[in-house]
Structure 1
Amino acid sequence: MRSPATDGTVSVQLARFVVDALRRSGVEPGRVARLPDLGPEVLGNDLARVSTASALAVWEQLTLAGPGTAIGALITDEAPIGTFGLWDYLITTGPSLRETLRQAVEYNAVIGDAAQEKLLVEEDGRTFNIRHATGSWGPDVVEAIDFFVLGLFLTRSRAATGRPLVPLRVSVTHGASGRHRQLTEFFGTTRIDFGAPYNSITFHDNDVRAPLPRAQPGLDRLLVRHAELTLAAARPALLWQDRFRMALDSAFREGAVSLEHVAQRLAVSPRTLQRRLGEHGTTWREEVESVRQEHALELLRTTDLPLRSVAARVGFSDVRALRRAVRRWEGRPPRDIRSTAGAGAGAGAGAGAGEPPATSWGTGPSPRACRP
């Protein structure tokens, strides 16, 4: 079940968990701590919805703590039932695991962004299979989220049945992880198929049809009704234009700036996105230029990247285009901005300078191909 009001957002319970997981990992939160919908007033409101862009920013940092991104599955062991609020009880309360898993899939918007997270149940009389796919984000983030979702269904199924349920098979579209042994221990099986056509977790039909030990007649129907009311009452913590800016910012950091990509992040069509921007007195081209300016100036002030690298990262064809833009924005050349910021002499040496380690903006395809 989807609610248009929750598209482009995730539950505050999910956001709280990944923020806490980041803190436990010891990774410096950096800009994540400054995101407007991850402050204590939002994370403390159980009806709030956090923008998917903010949640992805946390996932990006979290993957730094877990090489191979198996961390997505492993952290679900740190989430007891109740961590994800109502969704946890949808999946653990009912006559059988078959019914509660179907219920949890149908109401996945209670926990995640139903516009981006696709779930499908398949049955053939012998097996019960849940397939999952997520948005077209950075590969490490996608891998971590895919493992996280499969891990959630496993840990919640074990809690519902009260026994160490073992799946028949786990399939992922990603390559073999360097933490294969940990994944084998976590899922309880060596049947983990890497490089598969889709992500899935498969249970034996007998396991999902057995009565749940703590089932209470009628409680599952009450929880479904509560889920519908919760989705109807939920509201994004950020205004639409703020969510758009965060989605565009994320696209810049991934090197994937295009009208179509950002529209997909916001669960609207490109034409609808252009219309909404017009209603707010701006255009796609103006917004891209504004964020490009913000990113370029931040890179100049806070890194010693060569000018050619700064130009490429923010979508300019060459250093000359960057210099012209900086003069237009600031009325002075890039070297003066670096000098004022206290950057080392020669930081913008240009073509001959060596490349420092990549920053969090990423080095993906140039965003200069964005279309108005």
Structure 2
Amino acid sequence: MRFGTRRNLVAPPDDRCYPMHGTAACVMALTQTGASASELLHGTGIDESELMSHSRKVSYAQMQTILRNAVALSPGPEAPFEAGRRVSLASLGVWGMGMSSARTYRELADFVVRYQWVLGPMVAFELHEAGGSAWWTYTPLLVSNPHSTEYQMSMEFALCMGYRMSEIAFGPGFKALAISLRYDAPAHASLYEHFFGCPVHFGQPHDGFHFDPALLEHRLPHANAVSMAMVRAGCEVLLKKLSLRGSIEARVRELLAAQHAEKPAPDIDDIAGELKMNPRTLRRRLQEAGTSFRGLRSNVLKDQAIAYLRDTDLTQEEIAARLGFSDGSNFRQAFRRWTSRQPGDFRPKRAAGAPPDDDPEHL
């Protein structure tokens, strides 16, 4: 049994349409580990004063920039764990109110799954029940490579945040039976058992945590049926607005991101064909949603380029070929246009004595 309706587990559109409070909660929690809000927001176009605005919106492209900044600024491996545990229900706005108003953990889970997009989450949540077991699965939306530093940091933050939310809503009786993670055990693997207090299994098919299914029927201490009804009504309105803006862009981004290595990025005719619509219709629908095919394709290529630079030893010429560029020069020119930085700026720092990057302009 799986709770809720499974949605596309890809980053939704890049235009600013998600409420700011979820991002603000994450940024403020991260500042408690040493980074400043202005440093975390660098390159996003978001001013620190906008974090507290109820009217401002945020995009997934901006969230990705915040995640990259958090990785660069992290004072140590414990930082994402500590930050995740410091997110409060109150800081999550209407979504946090819904969690605290649920009558049972099962109702809380149903609320979280149904209305997760209202929060603009870093990960997509699903709850499963089978064979006398229950477990949450987490699917990161900002990065797809489980072996990357960004993926692991976002998972550490999201797991600690989700686990802490369950503890707050349920009470001290909530405990995980085991943590499952897709990636191999990092050097700081001992921190997982320290923060979660249960066995941790790496190299698994999914990310998430297992718990006793009997907890699903446990009544929660702060249940409030009136508040829950009001919150659900408000979330339905927000969800409808997001659905109207987000569905076509999310599908286009998913198709663009699914391109195979060493093949040119699909053009609008290719994507329109996959969606069984006329290219002119696709352009119009994207324009109505406040975005464009060119903009979405650039964002996908930028994200893939940064992932290759940070997580592989491929040269810039090889990355250019994988992304469909005719040569490295064209790739570097596009990369500078996307990020205002050189590709080499995203390479991990090399140890002393290591050979330099062999690409031009080290660009």
Same fold (TM over 0.5): yes
Which residue number corresponds to residue 163 of structure 2?
154
* Kept in 2: contact 1:69–1:143 (CA 8 A): no
Which residue number corresponds to residue 208 of structure 1?
216
Q: 1:55 to 1:283 in 2, by over 3 A?
A: closer
1:187 aligns with 2:193: no
**Which 5+ residue runs of structure 2 have no aligned equivalent?**
302-314, 334-354
Which residue number corresponds to residue 136 of structure 2?
130
Residue 217 of structure 1 deviates from its aligned partner by: 3.4
Equivalent AA in structure 2 for residue 16 of structure 1: A
Equivalent AA in structure 1 for residue 357 of structure 2: E
Bigger CA drift: 124-133 or 60-69?
60-69
Which residue number corresponds to residue 172 of structure 2?
163
Q: 1:225 aligns with which of 223, 233, 251?
A: 233
Q: 2:61 aligns with which of 53, 58, 78?
A: 53
* Counterpart secondary structure, 1:25: coil
* Counterpart secondary structure, 2:176: coil
Between the aligned residues of both structures, percent identity stands at 17
Q: 1:289 to 1:216 in 2, by over 3 A?
A: closer
Residue 256 of structure 1 deviates from its aligned partner by: 11
Matches for 1:85-164 after TM superposition, within 5 Å: 85-112=93-120, 117-124=123-130, 126-135=132-141, 136-138=143-145, 139-163=148-172
* Kept in 2: contact 1:48–1:234 (CA 8 A): no
Which residue number corresponds to residue 365 of structure 1?
none
Equivalent AA in structure 2 for residue 86 of structure 1: V
* Kept in 2: contact 1:166–1:203 (CA 8 A): yes
RMSD (CA atoms): 5.2
Which residue number corresponds to residue 63 of structure 1?
71
Matches for 1:1-372 after TM superposition, within 5 Å: 7-8=12-13, 10-23=18-31, 24-26=33-35, 32-36=41-45, 38-40=46-48, 42-66=50-74, 71-112=79-120, 117-124=123-130, 126-135=132-141, 136-138=143-145, 139-163=148-172, 165-189=174-198, 191-232=199-240, 258-259=265-266, 278-279=283-284, 354-355=356-357
* Kept in 2: contact 1:259–1:284 (CA 8 A): no
Q: State the TM-score, normalizing by the size of structure 1.
A: 0.62
* Kept in 2: contact 1:125–1:205 (CA 8 A): no
* Kept in 2: contact 1:72–1:148 (CA 8 A): yes
**Which 5+ residue runs of structure 1 have no aligned equivalent?**
293-308, 327-352, 362-372
* Kept in 2: contact 1:48–1:236 (CA 8 A): no
Equivalent AA in structure 2 for residue 137 of structure 1: S
Equivalent AA in structure 2 for residue 120 of structure 1: E
Residue 165 of structure 1 deviates from its aligned partner by: 2.3
* Kept in 2: contact 1:68–1:179 (CA 8 A): no
CA distance in 1, matches of 2:182, 2:58: 27
CA distance in 2, matches of 1:276, 1:84: 37
Q: 1:153 to 1:32 in 2, by over 3 A?
A: closer
CA distance in 1, matches of 2:149, 2:266: 23
Tell me which structure has the larger Cα radius of gyration: 1
Residue 196 of structure 1 deviates from its aligned partner by: 0.6
CA distance in 1, matches of 2:222, 2:300: 52
CA distance in 2, matches of 1:102, 1:156: 14
Q: Deviations over 1:256-276 (max 9, x none)?
A: 99449xx99xxxx78889658
CA distance in 1, matches of 2:238, 2:318: 44
CA distance in 1, matches of 2:293, 2:233: 40
* Counterpart secondary structure, 1:196: coil
Q: 1:171 to 1:354 in 2, by over 3 A?
A: closer
Equivalent AA in structure 2 for residue 123 of structure 1: E
